[in-house]
Structure 1
Amino acid sequence: MESRLLDILVCPLCKGRLQFDRAQAELICQADRLAFPVRDGIPVMLEPEARDLDATAVPTCAA
């Protein structure tokens, strides 16, 4: 994912900053505990498509 795109994308719910998890191909919102998938290089920023993050598991994010 391009760093320019990551700089302008925000969480659709809280408008907070997102972190890119390369290993899982997801954009992570720590505030809402959601992971939005990135499919074929395209972020899917829809709440129904987001995965809930476990409260105990903290993903390793590489920005």
Structure 2
Amino acid sequence: MASETNTGVPGAVDPRLLEILVCPVSKGPLRYDREAGELVSEKAGLAYPVRDGIPIMLPDEARKLPA
């Protein structure tokens, strides 16, 4: 069974969490890409996966964005 946040959408990231999370590499803001299921750091050029509503904020797990 997929987890739900207070948004009621399975796998969605809690908006309150998005307000406090920053990129661990650049310390800059993150943008949630709901379609891709990723938190995107434009400054670092990385996209962190979100699995079952939990952001995986490890640089080794991040996908490099195309230049």
- Check whether TM > 0.5: yes
Identity %: 56
Alpha-carbon RMSD across the aligned residues, in angstroms, is 0.5
Q: May I ask how many residue pairs the two structures share in their alignment?
A: 55
Which letter does structure 2 place at the counterpart of 1:10?
V
State the structure with more CA Rg: 2
What stretches of structure 2 of length at least 5 have no aligned partner? 1-12
TM-score, length of structure 1 as denominator length: 0.85
What stretches of structure 1 of length at least 5 have no aligned partner? 56-63
TM-score, length of structure 2 as denominator length: 0.80
Work out the CA distance in 2 between the residues paired with 1:42 and 1:10: 14
Following TM superposition, by how much is the alpha carbon of 1:2 offset from its aligned partner in structure 2, in angstroms?
Answer: 1.2
Runs of 4+ in 1 over 6 A off after TM superposition: none
